[in-house]
Amino acid sequence: MTAIQVDSLSHIYAGAEGGVPALKDISLEVEPGKFVVIVGPSGCGKTSLLMMLAGLRHQTTGTILCDGRPITAPDPSRVGVVFQEASLFPWLTAQDNTEFPLALRGTDREERRRRAEEMLRLVGLDGFGARYPHELSGGMKQRVSIARGLVQDPPVLLMDEPFAALDEQTRMTMGHELLRIWSQTRKTVVFITHSLTEAVYLADEVLVMSARPGRIIDRVTVPLPRPRTYEMMATDTFGQLRERIWQQLRTH
C-alpha cells in the first residue's frame, strides 16, 4: 500500500470569469518511509497541494488517499503538518506547545508529558522544555514545531518550507538534523522548498511543478547514498541533479 496516492487532482479558485486554475491533473504516489520534495515557481500551487494532502483544503476534482483511505478533513493521527512559520503559542513553554495537540485530544497528562519529552529529545531540545518561544532561536522554534508535528505519531509528515526564514548556516544544520530525525522515525515526508540545493540534499525523489496551473513536469530520483553528507554537494552527481531541476523550472 502506498502512503499517499493522488489521482487526477485539479483545483480552481472561485472568482470572475470561471475562476483561477491553480492545479491541473496532479497524480502521484509516495511509498511508505520515503522523503519526497516538491519544488516549483512561486504561485504554482505547492502549498495548496500540501494543504489538500493535510485535509485543510478541498480539491475541485480528483482523489487523495492516505494509507488507503480518503483525506477529507484534518486527521493528525495519519498526517502531521509543519508550517513555514513556527506558530508557537508565546504564553506556552516548549513542553506545553509540544503537548498541545495531545491536550486537545484529552490525552492523560502524564502520557502527553512523556510523549512531549520524548519528542523534544528526538529533535535535540532535551533540557529546553521549560523555555518560552521568546527564549529560543529561530532554529529551536522550528525544532519545537517538528516535535509538535510528531507527537501524535502520524505515519505522514507534511512540511511547508519549514526552514525558509532561517539563515543559510542554520538552514543547512536544520536540514541535516531533519534527516537524522527522519532516519530514526522512518516517517513518510513530503517537503516543500524553493531551494534546489536543499531539495537534492534531502530527497529520495524531487517532484518538479510547472507555473500555474501547477502540473508535475518531472520526477527526479536522487541516487545519492544515505546518510547524506555535506561533501556530497560538491559532487558531479549532485550538480547534475540540481541543474536538471533548474532547467525544468526555467523552461516551464
Q: 139-177, pLDDT tens digit by residue?
A: 999 999 999 999 999 999 999 999 998 899 999 999 999
Q: For the residues 226-246, what does the mean pLDDT come to?
A: 97
**pLDDT for 100:** 95
Q: Which pLDDT score is estimated for 88?
A: 94
The Cβ of residue 212 has, within 10 Å, a number of other Cβ atoms equal to 18
Please check the confidence at residue 251 and state whether its pLDDT lies above 90: no
Q: What is the pLDDT of residue 85?
A: 85
Residue 35 CB neighbours (<10 A): 22
For cell 503538518, the residue is 81
CA distance 62 to 60: 7
pTM of the predicted model as reported, rounded to 2 decimal places = 0.94
Per the listing, cell 516538491 goes with: 38
Mean pLDDT for the chain? 94
Q: What is the CATH number of domain 4-78+155-251?
A: 3.40.50.300
H or E stretch at 119: helix 109-122
Contact 197, 224 (CB under 8 A): no
| 86-99 pLDDT per residue, tens | 889 999 999 999 99
Phi/psi of residue 16, each to 5°? -70, 155
pLDDT tens-place string over residues 36-58: 999 999 999 999 999 999 999 99
- Helix ranges, 29-80 (H): 46-53
Band the pLDDT of 16: cuts 50, 70, 90: low
Residue 68 above 70 pLDDT? yes
Pinpoint the residues of the chain covered by CATH 3.40.50.300. Answer: 4-78+155-251
